[in-house]
C-alpha cells in the first residue's frame, strides 16, 4: 500500500506516521511545508520508513511531485492551521492553508485516484455545544471563529468532490488532541510548563464556570483513522475522547506532577471573540463498528506528562527555552 499523509511534521500528523509505521508495512509518503508548528524532529526517528516531500499546499502540487505519488492508495489530509488565537490575528493564512490547501489536495486526488481520501477535521465546525448535547455526524455547522469556519469550508469542498467527482471520502472529526511533542501554545504543554514553574495557569471560562472539552491522545486518534481505513469505511465519523473541563484537566496534570496548581479563571468568552465554552461530539457511530480508544484517557495523560518532563526541549517557545 502506498499512502500519502499531509502535515506529517505537525503534531497530529507525526503521531499518525508513527502509528502507521508501528502497525503496517505501508509505503509512506509525507508532505509538509514546515511552518512554525511543524518540526522534522517529530519524525526523524522514522526516516527509513518514509519519503519526505517538501511542498506548500497553498500551491497546486507540481507535476514532478504528482509523478512521485503515482499509485497512491490512500491520502490522509491532516495539514491545517489549527490555533484559534492565531486565526483571529491572521485569518487570511487560515483561508489560504485550510481552504486553498484542501482544494489543491482534492484536485491532486482527482489525478492520483486513490481508493480512499481521509479528510481530518474538527469538532469546532459545529460551534459551541450546550450542556449534555453531543453533536452527531449530520448535525448542522455553526462555526464561531476563522479557524473553524475554514475547516467547515474545507469539509464542504471534500463533500462536493465526493459527490461530483466520485472521490471515495472519509471525514473524521476529532476533539482536543494531546500527547508527546505537542507545540507549547496548546493547553496541555502550557499547563505542564506553568505548573513546573509555579506560575499561574489561565483557565478559559465565562468568568465563573470553566470551559469544557473532550480530550483524546493523538495516537488514539491515529488508531481510529487506521481502523476506518482497514474497515473500508465511508462518510463522516466522530472520534470524541473523554470530557473534562479545563480546570479539572489542569488539576489532573498538577496531581501527576505532584505540585500545587495556581490558577485564575479568565473570561475569554467575552474578551476573545470566537471562544466557545464547550465542544462535544457523539462517538457512537465509530464505536458501533467496534472501535474504542486502545489506551484509556488517564493513562494517556499520565504518559504524556511524564514524557514531557523528561523532554523539556519540547517546551520551547519563540526560539527561547521556557524556564522549567
Catalytically annotated residues = 123-124, 147
Task: Find the helix or strand (DSSP H, E) in which 66 lies.
Answer: helix 63-68
What is the side-by-side strand order in the sheet with 212-217? 176-178, 212-217, 242-245
Which one, of 297, 305, 283, 156, lies nearest residue 227 by Cα?
Answer: 283
- Per the CB < 8 A criterion, the answer to whether 28 and 3 are in contact is yes
What would the 3-class secondary structure string for 153-187 be?
HHHHHHHHHHHHHCCCEEEEEECEEECCCCCCCCH
The strand ranges marked E within 58-200 are 74-77, 116-122, 169-174, 176-178
CA angle, residues 188, 190, 191, in degrees to nearest 5: 65
- Per the CB < 8 A criterion, the answer to whether 134 and 201 are in contact is no
Output Rg (C-alpha) for the chain, integer angstroms.
19
| Dihedral over Cα of 36, 268, 305, 299: its sign | negative
Residue whose grid cell is 499523509: 5
Cα separation, 23 vs 96, whole angstroms: 34
- Per the CB < 8 A criterion, the answer to whether 203 and 151 are in contact is no
Cα separation, 46 vs 58, whole angstroms: 26
Amino acid at each position: 500500500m502506498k499512502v500519502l499523509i499531509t502535515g506529517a511534521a505537525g503534531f497530529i500528523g507525526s503521531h499518525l506516521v508513527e502509528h502507521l509505521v508501528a502497525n503496517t508495512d505501508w509505503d509512506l509518503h509525507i508532505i509538509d511545508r514546515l511552518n512554525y508548528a511543524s518540526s522534522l524532529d517529530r519524525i526523524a526517528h522514522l526516516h527509513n520508513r518514509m519519503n519526505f516531500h517538501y511542498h506548500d499546499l497553498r500551491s497546486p502540487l507540481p507535476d514532478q511531485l504528482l509523478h512521485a505519488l503515482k499509485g497512491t492508495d490512500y491520502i490522509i489530509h491532516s495539514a491545517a492551521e489549527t490555533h484559534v488565537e492565531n486565526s483571529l490575528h491572521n485569518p487570511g493564512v487560515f483561508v489560504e492553508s485550510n481552504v486553498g490547501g484542501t482544494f489543491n489536495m482534492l484536485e491532486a486526488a482527482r489525478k492520483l485516484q486513490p481508493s480512499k481520501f481521509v479528510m481530518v477535521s474538527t469538532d469546532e465546525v459545529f460551534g459551541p455545544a450546550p450542556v449534555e448535547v453531543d453533536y452527531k455526524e449530520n448535525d448542522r455547522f455553526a462555526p464561531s471563529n476563522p479557524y473553524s469556519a475554514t475547516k467547515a469550508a474545507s469539509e464542504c469542498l471534500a463533500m462536493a468532490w465526493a459527490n461530483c467527482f466520485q472521490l471515495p471520502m472519509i471525514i473524521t472529526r476529532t476533539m482536543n488532541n494531546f500527547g508527546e511533542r505537542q507545540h507549547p501554545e496548546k493547553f496541555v504543554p502550557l499547563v505542564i510548563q506553568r505548573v513546573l514553574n509555579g506560575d499561574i495557569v489561565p483557565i478559559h471560562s465565562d468568568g465563573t464556570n470553566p470551559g469544557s472539552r473532550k480530550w483524546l491522545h493523538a495516537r488514539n486518534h491515529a488508531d481510529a483513522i487506521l481502523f476506518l481505513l482497514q474497515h473500508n469505511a465511508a462518510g463522516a465519523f466522530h472520534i470524541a475522547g473523554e470530557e473534562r473541563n479545563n480546570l479539572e484537566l489542569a488539576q489532573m496534570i498538577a496531581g501527576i506532577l505532584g505540585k500545587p496548581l495556581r490558577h485564575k479563571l479568565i473570561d475569554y468568552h467575552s474578551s476573545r471573540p470566537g471562544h466557545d465554552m464547550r465542544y462535544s461530539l457523539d462517538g457512537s457511530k465509530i464505536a458501533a463498528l467496534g472501535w474504542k480508544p486502545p489506551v484509556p484517557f488517564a493513562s494517556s495523560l499520565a504518559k504524556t506528562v511524564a514524557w514531557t518532563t523528561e523532554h523539556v526541549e519540547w517546551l520551547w517557545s519563540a526560539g527561547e527555552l521556557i524556564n522549567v
